[in-house]
Amino acid sequence: MVQKITPAAARRMMEAGEAVPVDVREPSEYAAGHIPGARLLPLGSVRIKAADVIPDQEAAWLIYCRSGQRSAMAARQLEAMGYHNVYDLGGILAWPYQVER
């Protein structure tokens, strides 16, 4: 079952080196602003490119999008593909911390 995670908990995990954010928006959205260190894996290419972009199925991945719908779908897809530590961070709109451009 995919776990939901708050921005504060996600940030703590990132700062401790325990998890990596994964942006499932489109490249233009990612370029406009993303969580620092995030890997880009657009929702439409999750099944095709996940093994290349996020190869470790045991690592903790923080999945996010703009508002939370795509992240939930991507997190479920990843879990079905055998990823074991997938967290649904929801939308970047709720991210109160710094973003990279």
Can you read off the two tokens belonging to residue 43?
């929702």
Annotated catalytic residue within 14, 65, 75, 92? 65
- 22 in Cβ contact with 62 (< 8 Å): yes
Q: Is 63 a catalytic residue?
A: no
Amino acid at 22: V
Q: Give catalytic residues, as residue numbers.
A: 65
